[in-house]
Structure 1
Amino acid sequence: MRLPGTRRDLLPLLLSLAVPGPGDAQVRGEVLRLIAPLAHDRFGLYLLALLRRAAEEANPGLRFQAVAAARMTQRRVELEVASPTGSLDLMWGMSSSQRQRELRRVNVRLDQGLLGWRVLVVRADDLARWPADLDVAVVQRRRAGQGLHWPDVAILRDNGYLVQTAADMPTLYEMLQRRHIDYFPRSAMEVTDELANLAPRGVTIVPDLALRYDAGNYVFLGAHREPAAAALESALQLLAARGELKRRFEAAFEPQLRELHLERRRLIELRNTLD
């Protein structure tokens, strides 16, 4: 299977997922609204396709409406999903104890254990400052960039790392370029497409280091959506037991993961203090 590698390749897939399919008009069931992923968001597109497949398996009459939305912080998205009168019904992201208290987690992990593998994006002219044997204490003193309200912020700070935050991804990459932060830890699932589509020129990935902490990516719904959450959970568990979930993930991500050579990197292990 050839993976889409450009914005032009991914946009038709996004449109096909956001528009109801031929059989959807006959379904009289629940419509779950979620933020439409950006055209370069490979994980978001993968997840939309997976949710459609799970709905087919569960046959609960579920449909998914991918809606365009203004930039929201993750906290704003959580509040919209949690509210019975909110503008969104479903989100996905890293699990945390807070999210499990406030939302209904669909208890099937979607990232095959890779969400917590964080490669370091740095300025290319700084690459010599990031050798494989760099002391952990030095990394902790350097300024990491992360998104406002991302669970990763607390994990990094709880492990002794300096973190500066911004509301969105373009701003974080701009902060890196302007030397307001020293590095930007990014998930191995996300970084390749980001560098191709979002990052400014002059940034690169540290080749020999990575951070790692145990973190899982899950779907979350509001507690008032329990029937839909239970149906999705059962269907995703079935797909996982059959091996279909793993096959779909590998088809979507294996080529770019192979490029990162994760097995060769020195890992700096962190504790996940949130889950």
Structure 2
Amino acid sequence: MKSGRTGWMLGLVYLCFGAGIVLSAERPAFIGAANVSPHNEYRLWYRNYDSPPIRALVSLAFEKTPEYGSFSIIRSPEMAQGRVVRELEQPVSTLVDIANVATSDKREGNLLAIPLPIDGGLLGFRVCVVLQESLPMFEGIKSVSDLQEAGIRVGQGTHWPDTDILEANGVKVITHSRYEILFRMLENHRFECFARGVSEVLFDLEMQGNMNLAIEPDLLIAYPMPSYFFVSRRDHETAQRLQLGMERAINDGSFGKYLDHFYGRAMKALDLGERKMLVLNNPYLTEESLAIGRHSLMNLQRRINNLSSSDEADSDFEP
């Protein structure tokens, strides 16, 4: 394993230990031969299913836990983030079993969270997707007050935790319940900045294929906001399989390789070390998740340095 990848992986492991999460990589006591299904189907929220990194991580976690049986990952029906959270809150859902979304104290209270940030905490680091013609509006912005004075409105999902975080910090937010519609709203000048996570923005623009869209080059909006897998509070077996699989992947190095493969390119391409960071407060986290998010913020520069010193990610990674 190359030194850059070692630094990335150990950074995340330290992040988990530092927040009080115990990595145990042990087979859970409740699993016995009589309880193992020969084949399990897991319905993954369609937005996650359509995201290659997220679907790859679910597969990686399940492949690391063969004692739970074989598996298939199925695309859920299309539904907004608020709807998928409500579905998982039901005693039994026929639509979805797993969703990866940003965490909040409310979500951790109503659902079972697997408290390991799937992207190393990068979701709370956001850049602006803008129209090419709007780029001059962002010149000279160095603070949230500058953002306000420039009249810049930020587009976000109605039920995304980011919306409440941005509004709590005095940022003007325009919302819609559907992710896909937000790009059309940006194109129609309903807002100036569609704030997207560092770990997702390059994939977003590749999918959109719109040459009029650009990534604003100078700003990095940052707040502690880990992104977890969530399942129903009654679905302990799926929760334990996901957590055990991710812990094993961290311990054997395959999670570090996963992070480097899927997110290393974005961290380099976006020149995060050269951007002006606007740090916002997140008042909607549990104590544990706040510790994880703060640790991510403090270690961003170290992660950038680790990736900058490493070679390009291997092209033969297979989750």
Q: Counterparts of 1:218 and 1:225 in 2: how far apart (Å)?
A: 15
With the length of structure 1 as denominator, give the TM-score of the two structures.
0.82
Question: Counterpart of 1:90?
Answer: 98
Question: Counterpart of 2:162?
Answer: 152
Q: Counterparts of 1:187 and 1:196 in 2: how far apart (Å)?
A: 14
What's the RMSD between the two structures over aligned residues? 2.1
**1:118–1:186 CA contact under 8 A, matched in 2:** yes
Question: Counterpart of 2:245?
Answer: 235
- After superposition, the Cα gap between the structure-2 partners of 1:83 and 1:260, relative to the gap in structure 1 and judged at 3 Å, is same
With the length of structure 2 as denominator, give the TM-score of the two structures.
0.71
Question: Secondary structure in 2 aligned to 1:31?
Answer: strand
Question: Counterpart of 1:125?
Answer: 133
**2:62–2:245 CA contact under 8 A, matched in 1:** no
Question: Counterpart of 1:78?
Answer: 85
**1:43–1:189 CA contact under 8 A, matched in 2:** no
1:133 Cα deviation after fit:
4.0
| Higher deviation after alignment, 29-38 or 96-105 | 29-38
Question: Secondary structure in 1 aligned to 2:167?
Answer: helix
- After superposition, the Cα gap between the structure-2 partners of 1:139 and 1:159, relative to the gap in structure 1 and judged at 3 Å, is same
Question: Counterpart of 1:45?
Answer: 55
Question: Secondary structure in 2 aligned to 1:170?
Answer: helix
Instruction: Show CA shifts across 1:87-133 (max 9, x none).
Output: 21111111111110110001222111211110111111111121254
Runs of 4+ aligned residues of structure 1 deviating over 3 Å after TM superposition are: 36-40, 132-135
2:232 to 198, 222, 234: 222
Instruction: Show CA shifts across 1:131-151 (max 9, x none).
Output: 254442131342110012011
1:69 to 67, 74, 77: 77
Question: Counterpart of 2:217?
Answer: 207
Which structure 2 residues correspond to residues 1-275 of structure 1 after superposition, within 5 A?
28=38, 30-37=40-47, 41-56=51-66, 59-61=67-69, 63-70=71-78, 72-86=79-93, 87-140=95-148, 141-198=151-208, 200-275=210-285
**2:91–2:232 CA contact under 8 A, matched in 1:** yes
- After superposition, the Cα gap between the structure-2 partners of 1:135 and 1:214, relative to the gap in structure 1 and judged at 3 Å, is closer
Question: Counterpart of 2:22?
Answer: none
Extract unaligned runs of 5+ from structure 1: 1-25
| Higher deviation after alignment, 131-140 or 261-270 | 131-140
- After superposition, the Cα gap between the structure-2 partners of 1:185 and 1:157, relative to the gap in structure 1 and judged at 3 Å, is same
Q: Counterparts of 1:253 and 1:145 in 2: how far apart (Å)?
A: 23
Q: Which amino acid is the alignment partner of residue 176 of structure 1?
A: L
Question: Secondary structure in 2 aligned to 1:223?
Answer: coil
Q: Counterparts of 1:39 and 1:84 in 2: how far apart (Å)?
A: 23
**1:55–1:62 CA contact under 8 A, matched in 2:** no
Q: Counterparts of 1:176 and 1:258 in 2: how far apart (Å)?
A: 26
